Amino acid sequence: MRKIILSTESGADLPADLAAAHNIQVVPMHVIMDGKDYLDGSLPVQDIYNYYDRTKKIPSTTSTNAHEYEEFFSKINKDHPDCMIVHIGYTSKASSSFQHAVIASEEFDNLILNDALNVTGGLTAIVMFAAQLLEKEPGIEPTSFVEKIEAIIPKSKLAFVPGSLDFLRAGGRVSNVAYLGGALLKLKPRIELIDGHLVSNKKYRGKMSSVSEKFIREYFNQYDINKEQLYLIYSIGLAEDIKNRVDEIATEHGFKNITWMQAGAMISTHSGPGGFGIAGIEV
């Protein structure tokens, strides 16, 4: 029986301790700042915010390229001879990274690719579902394993609220008129992954302390999330009292395990400081 090795991308924001505990291999995406290319994970997120404060520009981001994928998958094969690699990738609707993995896959006969149609905590939820399934059923056939991953992908629900619209505006993700209107009215957009696309489908008014509470309660009302695990995502700058209150609300709703995740450089480049997100898998 071939050993199954899981892999994903840094845009999952998978906490390092979880990756290590479950032997999940993570390939870095890229952040480009001041003309220098940084691997996601090697660049402190605070440096991105400092760069924006200084220049009023945000870094650009690029996907993992096909050559990097070839090297990544080759190293896994070297470290784990005769393994089967199951790669769960960042949504193809928001990055070319998955397509590059498809190109690289032509060189491997022991590689199965899954487009998670999700990012950050939503992607981590799928990866961790797969990791826990492997632990429960270590002898599972790869075909059956992948079928169960594919079945869970549409059940992974991610939503988040950026801390401010500055990074969305700088990155061209909202018009200047929409930005000014949002700033004047203190509006914060709720953004969700729908069929792999980032979609803004609601706006909140007020400070993040009140917005975050309304947001998480509406999320719980909208989705019947499995109470075994909830992922909460924050970007640097989210106040501790907000995190504590969100913890209380999640506990009140019966969640047994609550994992906080910090948005990495790739995600933070687009969402900015002080943001908050929620991810889980529907029952």
Domain ranges of the chain: 4-31+62-152, 156-281
Report residue 76: phi and psi, to 5°: -60, -45
pLDDT band at 209; cut points 50, 70, 90: very high
**Given a cut of 90, is residue 200 above it in pLDDT?**
no
Structure tokens at 217: 């309660």
According to the model, what pLDDT value does residue 133 have?
A: 98
pLDDT band at 171; cut points 50, 70, 90: low
**Given a cut of 90, is residue 221 above it in pLDDT?**
yes
Separation between Cα atoms, residue 206 and residue 212, nearest integer Å: 10
Q: Whose structure tokens read 């924050």?
A: 234
- Sheet with 230-234, strands from edge to edge, namely 197-205, 187-194, 156-161, 276-281, 230-234, 258-262
Most confident of 48-57, 74-83, 163-172: 74-83
Q: Do domains 4-31+62-152 and 156-281 have the same CATH topology?
A: no
Dihedral of alpha carbons 107, 112, 118, 124, sign: negative
Mean of the per-residue pLDDT values for the chain? 93
pLDDT band at 148; cut points 50, 70, 90: very high
Angle at 45 between CA 175 and CA 281, to 5 degrees: 75
Classify domain 4-31+62-152 by CATH number.
3.40.50.10170
According to the model, what pLDDT value does residue 186 have?
A: 73
Report yes or no on whether pTM surpasses 0.85: yes
| pLDDT one-digit tens code per residue, 180-191 | 667 667 788 899
Contact (CB, 8 A) for 91 and 156: no
| pLDDT one-digit tens code per residue, 255-282 | 999 999 999 999 999 889 999 999 999 9
Classify domain 156-281 by CATH number.
3.30.1180.10
According to the model, what pLDDT value does residue 184 have?
A: 65
Q: How many CB atoms lie within 10 A of CB 256?
A: 10
According to the model, what pLDDT value does residue 96 have?
A: 95
**Given a cut of 80, is residue 172 above it in pLDDT?**
no
Residue range 43-62: average pLDDT?
Answer: 93
